[in-house]
Amino acid sequence: MTTRELSAGPVMCVVGARPNFMKMAPILRALAAHRPPLPALLLHTGQHYDAAMSDQLFADLRLPRPDINLEVGSASHAVQTAEVMKRFEPALDEHKPGCVLVVGDVNSTLACTLVAVKKNVPVVHVEAGLRSYDRKMPEEINRVLTDQVADRLYTTERSATDNLVREGIAESRVCFAGNVMIDSLLSNRAQARPVADTLRDGGHDPALLQQGWGVVTLHRPSNVDDAQTLGRLLGVLGEVARRLPLVFALHPRTRANIERFGLGALIDPQRMLLLPPQGYLEMLGLMAGATMVLTDSGGLQEETTALGVPCLTLRDNTERPITVEQGTNTMVGRDVQAIREAAAEILAGRGKRGRVPELWDGHAAERIAADLYQWLRAGAP
Ligand code: UD1
């Protein structure tokens, strides 16, 4: 490969919320390791700002301090998106990047994309083309709109490329590169924190998990913002917990709603162990040793597939179908009976084993860096 320097400005790498950080860490490393290196700047919008939601993950993932922090914080979708846009524009003007690289589907992803394309700065989207076909999910809107205007699109599974082509996006703009989140998982697996330490830090007795455990995360508005729905889900999780203790890492939104709706009594502290939002290495340890994971997260569906741990997804649809077709994921929706039965299957030793999908091999970010270099050198779009 040639080692000609690029004449364009740096790659401005944007992160905003927790699920962005594990995607960006391997990308930044791959841009630096490329020969010649691709200069990069890291911009944090500040959508997530708590130590547990942001700083801890930066440390775990060995992410450098952001060069720029827009400190937008929480607000309604409209205000949050607008604030990111307002504050991102001067940062673009000042740093004159050769392209803006966004990952995933959070509000920051779309906000920065909109600003960049209107200023004729090329946009690169990593994890493009995923579709739940559920427009009630804010992430779906973010994904569809980002992909329509992005200039270079990297996909994690072949079905995502097909989705993009169906939406009229030229296949020449798309590159199937694999899954950068799995790059992070594989490179950090050996450093996963022992579960006993994680539990002790959370004020729980690790002996409670001697016979195994399950892991729970819930944070989607559709699951946690309605008192009845959240109550029903906590009820069935309580049933599962009577057979298999569950470790429940609580998103701030979920914790607040359990308190607001007065649902705390549904949680038996001996069987359902509550923890604050966990660091990356703590989550990795918890998941890798779990009998099952119950979640509504997008990322956990993929991570459990890579780890070979059965996953029950408490949603009606997934934008990551390969985790169901090839991996360990089962969609159980919010139907209490379906959740109960699927959990019983796993407890009876009949959980899905699955296999690891194509190009989820720990080298996705390197492929992206190599392709991006060629693309920028050829003059981008
Ligand atoms: C966002 C993403 C979602 C992702 C999730 C992971 C969007 C549309 N959603 O949802 O795709 O799965 O991140 O967590 O971008 N809060 C804190 N501390 C923080 C951040 C948030 O306490 O550091 C609380 C605030 O009360 C806030 C609420 O969490 O209002 C929601 O935060 P927000 O960034 O709006 O969305 P998430 O639900 O975290």
For residue 109, the ligand 1 atom closest to its alpha carbon is: 15
The pair of three-digit structure tokens given for residue 345, joined into one six-digit string: 């299957």
Q: Is the CB of 246 under 6 A from ligand 1?
A: no
Give the span between the Cα atoms of 368 and 24, in whole angstroms: 12
Cβ burial 279-292 (10 Å sphere, 16+ → b, else e): bbbbbbbbbbbbbb
Q: Is the CB of 44 under 6 A from ligand 1?
A: no
For residue 221, the ligand 1 atom closest to its alpha carbon is: 38
Q: What is the pLDDT of residue 2?
A: 44
Confirm if 73 and 49 have CB atoms less than 8 A apart.
Answer: yes
Place of tokens 């801890």: 56
Best residue for ligand 1 mutational test, from 74, 142, 302 (most atoms within 8 Å of Cβ):
74
Atom 20 of ligand 1, nearest CA residue? 48
Q: Is the CB of 255 under 6 A from ligand 1?
A: no
**Number of residues in the chain:** 381
Q: What is the pLDDT of residue 228?
A: 98
Q: What is the pLDDT of residue 5?
A: 64
Give the span between the Cα atoms of 274 and 291, in whole angstroms: 17
Domain boundaries, the chain: 3-178+360-377, 194-347
Q: What is the pLDDT of residue 8?
A: 82
133-180, pLDDT tens digit by residue?
Answer: 999 999 999 999 999 999 999 999 999 999 999 999 999 999 999 999
Atom 26 of ligand 1, nearest CA residue? 253
Please say whether the structural domain 194-347 has been given the CATH code 3.30.70.1380.
Answer: no
Sheet of strand 329-331, all strands in order from the earlier edge strand to the far edge: 272-275, 246-249, 214-217, 292-295, 311-313, 329-331
- The identity of residue 266, as a single letter, is L
- The identity of residue 322, as a single letter, is I
289-340, pLDDT tens digit by residue?
Answer: 999 999 999 999 999 999 999 999 999 999 999 999 999 999 999 999 999 9
Q: What is the pLDDT of residue 4?
A: 58
The pair of three-digit structure tokens given for residue 153, joined into one six-digit string: 């699109």
Atom 30 of ligand 1, nearest CA residue? 74
Q: What is the pLDDT of residue 47?
A: 98
Same topology, domains 3-178+360-377 and 194-347? Answer is yes
Best residue for ligand 1 mutational test, from 110, 135, 253 (most atoms within 8 Å of Cβ):
253
Atom 28 of ligand 1, nearest CA residue? 253
In 194-346, the DSSP E strands lie at 214-217, 246-249, 272-275, 292-295, 311-313, 329-331
Q: What is the pLDDT of residue 242?
A: 97
Q: What is the pLDDT of residue 346?
A: 98
One digit per residue, the tens of pLDDT, for the chain of length 381 reads 444 567 789 999 999 999 999 999 999 999 999 999 999 999 999 999 999 999 999 999 999 999 999 999 999 999 999 999 999 999 999 999 999 999 999 999 999 999 999 999 999 999 999 999 999 999 999 999 999 999 999 999 999 999 999 999 999 999 999 999 999 999 999 999 999 999 999 999 999 999 999 999 999 999 999 999 999 999 999 999 999 999 999 999 999 999 999 999 999 999 999 999 999 999 999 999 999 999 999 999 999 999 999 999 999 999 999 999 999 999 999 999 999 999 999 999 999 999 999 999 999 999 999 999 999 999 888
Q: Is the CB of 140 under 6 A from ligand 1?
A: no
> Is 204 one of the catalytic residues?
no
Q: Out of 44, 48, 204, 219, which one is annotated catalytic? A: 219
Q: Is the CB of 50 under 6 A from ligand 1?
A: yes
Q: DSSP code of 164? A: H
Confirm if 273 and 255 have CB atoms less than 8 A apart.
Answer: no
Helical pair 364-377 and 180-188, crossing angle rounded to 10 deg: 140
Cα torsion 164, 166, 168, 173 to 10°: value is: 30
Give the span between the Cα atoms of 59 and 194, in whole angstroms: 17
Q: How far is the CA of 367 from the centre of ligand 1 (A)?
A: 30
Confirm if 122 and 98 have CB atoms less than 8 A apart.
Answer: yes
Atom 7 of ligand 1, nearest CA residue? 106
Contacts of 335 (CB under 8 A, 6+ apart): none
Q: Is the CB of 219 under 6 A from ligand 1?
A: yes
Q: Is the CB of 139 under 6 A from ligand 1?
A: yes
Cis peptide preceding 36, ω within 30 of 0? yes
CATH number for region 3-178+360-377: 3.40.50.2000
Give the span between the Cα atoms of 301 and 162, in whole angstroms: 21
Q: What integer best gives the mean pLDDT of the chain? A: 96
Give the span between the Cα atoms of 307 and 328, in whole angstroms: 9
Q: Is the CB of 48 under 6 A from ligand 1?
A: yes
Q: What is the DSSP string of 258-300?
A: HHHTT-GGG--TTTEEEEPSPPHHHHHHHHHT-SEEEE--HHH
